[in-house]
Amino acid sequence: MKKALLLLVLSTIMFSGCFLWDARGRAQPEELVLATTTSTVDTGLLDFLLPEFEKEYNAKVRVVAVGTGQAIQLGRSGDADVILVHSREAEERFVNEGYGVKRYDVMYNDFVLLGPSFDPAGVSGAKTIVDALGRIASRAGTAQGVVFASRGDDSGTHRKEMFLWDKAGVGAPRGEWYSSLGQGMGDTLIMADEMRAYVLSDRGTYLSMKDKLKNLSIVFEGDEDLFNPYGIIAVNPEKHPNVNFRLAQELIAFFTSIHVQQMINTFGVDRYGQPLFFPNSEQWWLEHGGE
Amino acid sequence: MSAVYELEDVRHIYDGRTVIDIERLEILEGEIFGIIGPSGAGKSTLLRLLNFLEPPRRGIIRYRGKPYSAASMPSLDVMREITTVLQKPALLSTTVFHNIAYPLRIRHKRPDPQQVASMLQRVGLGKLSHVRASSLSGGEAQRVALARALIFGPRVLLLDEPTANLDPANTAVIERLVREFRAETKMTVVVVTHNVFQAKRLCDRVMFLNEGACVEVSDARSFFESPKHAMSKAFLSGEVIF
Amino acid sequence: MLLGQIVSGLSEALKLIVEGDREIYSIILLSLRVSGIALLIATAAGVPLGAWLGLTGFPGRRVVVALVYTGMGLPPVVVGLVVFMLLSKTGPLGALGWLFKVPGMILAQSIIALPIVAGLTMTAVGGVNKNVKQQLVALGASPAQVRWATLSEARMGVLAAVLAGFGRIVAEVGAVMLVGGNIQYRTRVLTTAIVLETRKGNFGMALALGSILLVISFVVNAAVLHLNRRGLGDS
């Protein structure tokens, strides 16, 4: 009985504490959780874009950088308010199952095939990425030093790679030459550099790490199959009433606005001589025609 | 009777404090020699010196005619003639058998199970040979410690308050065993005790030690019946607190 | 929701083990192999080192002891980083070709386990009752015989030290991730697989692997506790 009373008193104190906190924190920024892939953080893009949003909306965006798989899972469980990822199929499933409200195009970047500069599989002569991967798979058994490092973490990049292997008729690659690492893009690039391995990477992460990757260079690029669109989706408040849907919608409007699209288009140019991401929102295309 | 130990100007110092300062002392072959005195008198320190567990800071300890000092401590073979039983048994965490066989083992003698068994029999623990030492009672453990000290036939047995933690029954057993073995092997026994009655029951001669110095040495009967020194008198009448 | 995930994770773990899923078994076996061999190495070096530190005094001992205690708290990821740099093709040990291979992982985990085994062995040996040592000398033991008996008195504590080393490295993720690289079928162990499955959003699977690791850790730690208690009962 005494214990119960004590418990009651304690919980009362704690609850009133919470309310006091709230009252005092009214001027504090609103929080928004953005689950996204490592590439948007590793390249520094979000650090470039978000401060303006946070200032304008008195918001604090907490960025959780994980693989696309986990990012979508975080949206599914209501742990994130909004997701920014690049795996078209998974994004559409996320919306169709009712977890996301609507998918908006934000930007795209492209993938490049990296490899040791001596190119033991002779990939640089290939016409398409499918052809290039086919060469790696078929020469891996015979030629010395042909090895491939894969993200292997169910990320957007990994899913893209698996899709391309399938298209090249290799199926799910296995063997001594194929290393499924289960790591993020940056870690995978460092390992591939050590291993002198071929690796599929998004261009942005590669460019941002280029000076650390002494043994890797682009051996194949430019195929339409390497196109990599990013979508942004607010988590459905009907599934998870606790999410900050209003602020999520504001973030989407912010990312797709002409102003921010222009910022994306210039991001990285000063450092790498080329943009890391290309604008791709509906507004942008309305303004700039095309498609 | 010849002397086993002759101490000449032995001084010992801990942390700048003189704990032993004995000008002359003889301990005779085959006797039971008692050391009594208040706590802090240096009794245990003296026993460690007699076992050569540490070198005396100054002076000479003559053992069986050979002089030893800080500069020349006895060889392992000489040290192996002397042993000590402490107030707390300090048994190894193995079986009773292993504990008793240990002194034989380290002397590279194969322990004879027969010999160990009969020793156990004598200390009244015949059935406990394969029991773990940690499961023994205090009295049993001390009897094992005594058996372990006696198994290899020491010339000198040093006892440091051997019954201080024991009940009267176990005390009587230990005292009886010490007397019996002394009679059989003619070994010398030095016993430190704060128990005046034990010294009376057990000892041939007694020394009263106070603040590291030898106050009085005499044969037991005359010491207890008519102590010469005022301090011994005070101690025996219980006026000195220990 | 959380409870549901835990329950489904555990039932998934049970299913995978019962069905004898090959990848799971290879991950478990590799974990045990890497940590087991690393432990053997750490024991072969750490027990003598700890015994030496616990038994003898020499000038500079305090410095060595301080180093060992510091080593006991080494963050695995820092060990991983250093070993990575050593084994990198451009590093001083690059010629060994151990990076992203099992020997590299064993090297890193040996380094993590060594100070733990040595430090706890030292504590166990140093904790042997001083009276016992003096009694052994009084019984006629030579210095070498006293050292040997002291070690044997500390045996439960030494065994506990070895098991504690194992518990630490089998649950360690930082070093094996950096040095092993979490390569499927080759250097993927329980802890790195958990990180991966969590990143993939497969919380059930991650939890399943986690509960296997938990069982291993539990068995090891229960053994340590048991030995410690026996060690106490003896003194």
Decide if B107 and C135 are in contact by the 8 Å CB cutoff.
no
Share of chain A above pLDDT 90, in %: 62
Tell me what the pLDDT averaged over chain A comes to.
88
Establish if C147 touches chain A: CB-CB under 8 angstroms: no
Q: How far apart are CA A190 and CA A7, in angstroms?
A: 53
Instruction: List the single residue in B79, B86, B90 with the smallest CB-CB distance to C140.
Output: B79
The pLDDT score that the predictor gives to residue A21 is 45
Establish if C29 touches chain A: CB-CB under 8 angstroms: no
The pLDDT score that the predictor gives to residue A56 is 93
Q: Which of residues 193-222 of A touch C (CB under 8 A)?
A: 194-195, 214
Q: How far apart are CA A252 and CA A116, in angstroms?
A: 39
Q: Which two tokens stand for residue A126?
A: 């290939």
String of DSSP letters for A260-291 = HHHHHHHTTHHHHSS-SSEE--HHHHHHH---
Establish if A36 touches chain C: CB-CB under 8 angstroms: no
String of DSSP letters for A184-206 = -HHHHHHHHHHHT-EEEEEHHHH
Tell me the shortest Cα–Cα distance from A146 to chain C, in angstroms. Answer: 16
Amino acid at position A56, single letter: E
pLDDT class for C20, splitting at 50, 70, 90?
Answer: confident
**B neighbour chains, 3+ CB pairs within 8 Å:** C
The pLDDT score that the predictor gives to residue C221 is 83
Tell me the shortest Cα–Cα distance from C41 to chain B, in angstroms. Answer: 28
Q: Find the closest chain C residue to A76 by CA distance.
A: C201
Q: Which residues of chain A neighbour C102 with C-beta distances below 8 Å?
A: none
Establish if A110 touches chain C: CB-CB under 8 angstroms: no
pLDDT at B55 over 80: yes
Establish if C130 touches chain A: CB-CB under 8 angstroms: no
pLDDT at B43 over 80: yes
The pLDDT score that the predictor gives to residue A201 is 95
Mutate which of C135, C137, C232 to test chain B, going by most B C-beta atoms within 10 A? C135
Decide if C196 and A153 are in contact by the 8 Å CB cutoff.
yes
The pLDDT score that the predictor gives to residue C3 is 76
The pLDDT score that the predictor gives to residue A26 is 46
Q: Are strands A148-150 and A198-202 parallel, antiparallel or unpaired?
A: parallel
Tell me the pTM.
Answer: 0.75
Establish if C5 touches chain A: CB-CB under 8 angstroms: no
Decide if B80 and C153 are in contact by the 8 Å CB cutoff.
no
Establish if B155 touches chain C: CB-CB under 8 angstroms: no
Please, are residues C175 and C109 in contact by the beta-carbon 8 Å criterion?
yes
pLDDT at B134 over 60: yes
Q: What angle do CA C195, C199, C202 make, to 5 degrees?
A: 95
Instruction: List the single residue in C1, C89, C182 with the smallest CB-CB distance to A183.
Output: C182
Q: Among candidates B173, B166, B240, which has minimal Cα distance to B210?
A: B240
Tell me the shortest Cα–Cα distance from B105 to chain C, in angstroms. Answer: 10
Q: Say which residue, C8 or B224, is predicted with more confidence.
A: B224
Q: How far apart are CA A158 and CA A222, in angstroms?
A: 18
Q: For residue range C21-71, what is the model confidence (pLDDT) as tens digits?
A: 888 889 999 999 999 999 999 999 999 999 999 998 889 899 999 999 999
The pLDDT score that the predictor gives to residue B123 is 92
The pLDDT score that the predictor gives to residue B240 is 55
Mutate which of C176, C183, C187, C190 to test chain A, going by most A C-beta atoms within 10 A? C183
Q: Which residues of chain B neighbour C149 with C-beta distances below 8 Å?
A: 92, 102
The pLDDT score that the predictor gives to residue A2 is 54
Decide if C153 and B93 are in contact by the 8 Å CB cutoff.
yes
Cα dihedral sign for B177, B179, B184, B189?
positive
Q: How far apart are CA A203 and CA A217, in angstroms?
A: 11
Which of A25-39, A157-171, A224-238, B180-194 has the lowest average pLDDT? A25-39
- The DSSP element (H or E) to which A37 belongs, if any, is strand A30-37
Enumerate the H helices of chain B as residue ranges.
43-50, 76-79, 96-106, 113-122, 138-150, 168-185, 196-202, 220-225, 230-236
Instruction: List the single residue in B91, B106, B149 with the smallest CB-CB distance to C141.
Output: B106
The number of residues in chain B equals 242
Q: Which of residues 180-219 of B touch C (CB under 8 A)?
A: none
> Where does residue C76 rank: exposed (0-12), middle (13-18), buried (19+ CB within 10 A)?
buried
Chains A and B touch (3+ CB pairs under 8 A): no
Tell me the shortest Cα–Cα distance from C119 to chain A, in angstroms. Answer: 34
Establish if C139 touches chain B: CB-CB under 8 angstroms: yes
Decide if B90 and C141 are in contact by the 8 Å CB cutoff.
no
> Where does residue B110 rank: exposed (0-12), middle (13-18), buried (19+ CB within 10 A)?
exposed
Instruction: List the single residue in B88, B103, B134 with the smallest CB-CB distance to C139.
Output: B103
- Furthest-apart CA atoms within chain B: distance in Å: 53
The pLDDT score that the predictor gives to residue C234 is 43
Q: Find the closest chain B residue to C145 by CA distance.
A: B106
Q: Which two tokens stand for residue C96?
A: 């060994």
Mean pLDDT of A230-245: 94
Mutate which of A154, A188, A215 to test chain C, going by most C C-beta atoms within 10 A? A154
Mean pLDDT of C126-131: 90
Cα dihedral sign for A202, A207, A213, A219?
positive
Q: For residue range C92-104, what is the model confidence (pLDDT) as tens digits?
A: 998 998 988 999 9
Q: For residue range A177-207, what is the model confidence (pLDDT) as tens digits?
A: 999 999 888 899 999 999 999 999 998 889 8
Share of chain C above pLDDT 70, in %: 95
Distant-in-sequence, close-in-space partners of C154: CB < 8 Å, separation ≥ 6: C54, C121, C124, C125, C127, C128
Interface size between B and C, measured as CB pairs under 8 A:
49
The pLDDT score that the predictor gives to residue A5 is 53
Mean pLDDT of C2-23: 77
Establish if C142 touches chain B: CB-CB under 8 angstroms: yes
Q: Among candidates B33, B36, B39, B31, which has minimal Cα distance to B196?
A: B36
Decide if C181 and A181 are in contact by the 8 Å CB cutoff.
yes
Q: How far apart are CA C169 and CA C80, in angstroms?
A: 12
The pLDDT score that the predictor gives to residue C230 is 67
Q: Which residues of chain C neighbour A73 with C-beta distances below 8 Å?
A: 200-201, 203
Q: Are strands A100-116 and A227-235 parallel, antiparallel or unpaired?
A: antiparallel
How many whole angstroms from its chain centre is CA C171? Answer: 8
Establish if C184 touches chain A: CB-CB under 8 angstroms: yes
**A neighbour chains, 3+ CB pairs within 8 Å:** C
Tell me the shortest Cα–Cα distance from A32 to chain C, in angstroms. Answer: 20
The pLDDT score that the predictor gives to residue A290 is 58
Decide if B93 and C141 are in contact by the 8 Å CB cutoff.
no
Distant-in-sequence, close-in-space partners of C232: CB < 8 Å, separation ≥ 6: none
String of DSSP letters for C57-115 = --TTHHHHHHHHHHHHT--HHHHHHHHHHHHSTTSTTGGG--TTSHHHHHHHHHHHHHH
Establish if C183 touches chain A: CB-CB under 8 angstroms: yes
Q: How far apart are CA A11 and CA C191, in angstroms?
A: 38
The pLDDT score that the predictor gives to residue A20 is 43
Q: Among candidates C61, B94, B61, which has minimal Cα distance to B53?
A: B61
pLDDT class for A260, splitting at 50, 70, 90?
Answer: very high
Summary count for chain B: helices (H), strands (E): 9, 10
pLDDT class for A4, splitting at 50, 70, 90?
Answer: low
Establish if C90 touches chain B: CB-CB under 8 angstroms: no
Tell me the shortest Cα–Cα distance from B103 to chain C, in angstroms. Answer: 6
What count of other Cβ atoms lies within 10 Å of the Cβ of residue C46?
28
Q: How far apart are CA A123 and CA A272, in angstroms?
A: 25
Q: How far apart are CA C157 and CA C54, in angstroms?
A: 12
Q: Among candidates A187, A174, A67, A191, which has minimal Cα distance to C22?
A: A174
Mean pLDDT of B151-155: 95
Q: Which two tokens stand for residue C4?
A: 């549901």
Q: How far apart are CA A241 and CA A46, in angstroms?
A: 26
Mutate which of C139, C152, C159 to test chain B, going by most B C-beta atoms within 10 A? C139
pLDDT class for A265, splitting at 50, 70, 90?
Answer: very high
pLDDT at A19 over 70: no
Reduce the DSSP state of residue B126 to 3 states and report it: coil
Establish if C181 touches chain A: CB-CB under 8 angstroms: yes
Decide if A182 and C100 are in contact by the 8 Å CB cutoff.
no
The pLDDT score that the predictor gives to residue B1 is 64
pLDDT at B116 over 80: yes
Q: For residue range A121-176, what is the model confidence (pLDDT) as tens digits?
A: 999 889 999 999 999 999 997 878 899 999 998 888 999 999 999 999 999 998 99
